[in-house]
Copies of this chain bind each other. A is one copy, B any other.
Amino acid sequence: MSVKMNGKHLAPFISEDEYKALFPQVKLAHELLHSGQGQGNDFLGWLDLPVNYDKEEFARIKKAAAKIISDSDVLIVIGIGGSYLGARAAIEALKGTLYNNTCKKTPQIFYVGNSISPAYLQDVISLCEGKDVSVNIISKSGTTTEPAIAFRVFRDMLEKKYGKEGARSRIYATTDKARGTLKELADAEGYETFVVPDDVGGRYSVLTAVGLLPIAAAGCDIDQLMAGAAAAREALAVCDENNDCYRYAATRNILYRKGKAVELLACYEPNFTLMNEWYKQLFGESEGKDQKGLFPASVIFSTDLHSMGQFVQDGARIMFETVVDIQKPQKDLYIEKSDENFDGLNFLADQNMSVVNRKAMEGTILAHTDGGVPNVLLEVESLTEFNLGYLIYFFEKACAISGYLMGVNPFNQPGVESYKKNMFALLGKPGYEDRKAELEAKLR
């Protein structure tokens, strides 16, 4: 099993009887999900995606990635939310947070269209100078403000650089299969297109073309990624006490009902930083509604033991920790003994650095548990493509079960529209005139 929940440190906080008492609700959530009778059942495509995906498109993704690798120094990925986080999270987990500095045979990847910051966009534009560039625009509709602005800029850049014809062969559009602004443009221009499926929401889309094309272009093995997800799908299909994914969902829910307000995802591997962000969207958007939900926060330890560590150890007792325990690092480093021992560090020398990192983790778990913070462990053998695919599916399914346990629709996000409507009104978008005056009065 690639991901295992270890609950041994939960004993002071949750009794086995509590799991038994909640089990009927877990079973109900499982049945709602698998029967497709629960709320949000239009968005269950992710459930069988690891086996039930479009094999022809998958082959085209690999081909497109190979072309990008062969003819591009830079790949610009344009997308926001689920059309951005999954790809970046997977690439940094597998290739490191310093990927853009360490990559040699694959292009640098810069992510734009995920904010409205002109300073950031100008920086990325300047980094394209003198380089061969391809663009992957990812937007179901093509009208989402942030990516649409960025696409105007980079489409223009490519057409100026390569001519209209040349640009066409460097723009890849991941969008709706049949309709929408971007699909129409792509068809008219002859861009190669990939599909954002109708039945997979943004935050669940990393294993579709949305995530797979950038991930493959970074040189990651997407066959293995899918294989890992498929293994998770099979391992986590049955609702019994051996289903660690369900046990994790139950643990979260029990702690929430006991009054915990914050789940703090912790990992001792900096390469997991963007996976933390991906997790925040997945759980925050799925559970955070109807004035409910665990607030998702994250830390990278031991880095953040020297910033948030004090609060976790002894601040307001509002959180529990979910520790993603990566058991084997991608690279290790042997700490040499020093004859002079000028820093008094020889007690930890003569062994691999990963051993020290594990001891820090174990020591911290015990310290935080003693401090009254429940600690759940999710054990992952290593950050390979296979295991990452497994972990992604594990989190996705835990999130769905969590949502049903919480009594919310885990697959919608009505609250995301509110800011957009206000922004459109303030920008004078046709059709929003009434709201404009009202909002401007409030701003005065």
Contacts and interface: CB of A to CB of B under 8 A. Distances in A.
Contacts of A84: 306
Interface of A: 80-82, 84-85, 96-98, 100-102, 108, 110, 114-124, 126-127, 142-143, 145-146, 148-149, 151-153, 156, 181-182, 184-185, 202-203, 261-262, 268-271, 277, 280-281, 284-285, 287-297, 300-319, 329-333, 335-336, 338, 342-345, 347-348, 352-354, 356-357, 359-360, 362-364, 366-368, 370-371, 413-416, 418-430, 439, 442-443
Nearest to A315: B288
Give the interface centre of A149, A296, A336, A419 by most chain B CB atoms within 10 Å: A419
A280 B305 CA distance: 12
Contacts of A428: 347
A366 B317 contact: no
A425 B426 CA distance: 59
Contacts of A332: 118-119, 122
Which 4 A-B pairs have CB atoms at the shortest separation, nearest pair first?
A: A288-B315, A288-B311, A81-B306, A363-B422
Contacts of A149: 335, 345, 348, 353, 356
Nearest to A291: B317
A287 to B, nearest CB: 7
Contacts of A270: 115, 117, 120
Contacts of A302: 80, 114-116, 146, 419
A92 B108 CA distance: 20
A46 B100 CA distance: 37
A171 to B, nearest CB: 13
A314 B414 CA distance: 9
B102 A366 contact: no
